[in-house]
């Protein structure tokens, strides 16, 4: 079993829909990251969380340390949100990241 599990693996939504991507992890962590990988391959850091909730534009990330679970929400989704969303956690000394396999999101008109 991977230390970081994401669900769903693939997600198709219509423009305007509210989207939730989930991340569960099985180890103690010091921080959790959400990343976005564009169709062209580039990776962008969206959020770094160690507790609570963060918001940036239409993106909201939450984390529940006790339940070892994080969610990434996208409100009013748009085709430009189509990308792979990756969850990653810092464990131990925080020098190493362990990644989930990603959620591929496609938003259609």
Partner 1 sequence: NAGVTQTPKFQVLKTGQSMTLQCAQDMNHEYMSWYRQDPGMGLRLIHYSVGAGITDQGEVPNGYNVSRSTTEDFPLRLLSAAPSQTSVYFCASRQSYGYTFGSGTRLTVV
Write out the residues near partner 1 by the rule CB under 8 A: 2, 4, 33, 35, 41-45, 47-48, 86, 88, 95-102
- Minimum CB separation of residue 3 from partner 1 in Å reads 10
Min dist CB 45 to partner 1, Å, is 4
Is the CB of residue 61 less than 8 Å from the CB of residue 74?
no
| Closest approach of partner 1 to the CB of residue 29, in Å | 15
Is the Cβ of residue 60 or residue 97 nearer to partner 1 in the bound state? 97
User: Both tokens of residue 78?
Assistant: 């748009």
Which residue, 13 or 35, is less far from partner 1 as judged by CB?
35
Neighbours of 68 (CB within 10 A): 17
Region class of 32: left (phi > 0), else alpha (psi between -120 and 50), else beta: beta
Q: Report residue 12 CA to chain centroid gap.
A: 16
Q: Which is nearer to partner 1, 55 or 96 (CB)?
A: 96
Residue owning tokens 């770094």: 48
Closest distance to partner 1 from the beta carbon of 17 (Å): 26
Q: How far apart are CA 91 and CA 98, in angstroms?
A: 8
């Amino acid at each position: 079993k991977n230390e970081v599990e994401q669900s769903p693996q693939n997600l198709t939504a219509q423009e305007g829909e509210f989207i939730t991507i989930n991340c569960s992890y099985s180890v103690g962590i010091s921080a959790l990251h959400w990343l976005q990988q564009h169709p062209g391959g580039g990776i962008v850091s969206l959020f770094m969380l160690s507790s609570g909730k963060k918001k940036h534009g239409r993106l909201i990330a939450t984390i529940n340390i006790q339940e070892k679970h994080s969610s990434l929400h996208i409100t009013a989704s748009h085709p430009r949100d189509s990308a792979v969303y990756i969850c990653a956690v810092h464990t131990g000394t925080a020098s190493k990241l362990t990644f989930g396999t990603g959620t591929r999101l496609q938003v259609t008109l």
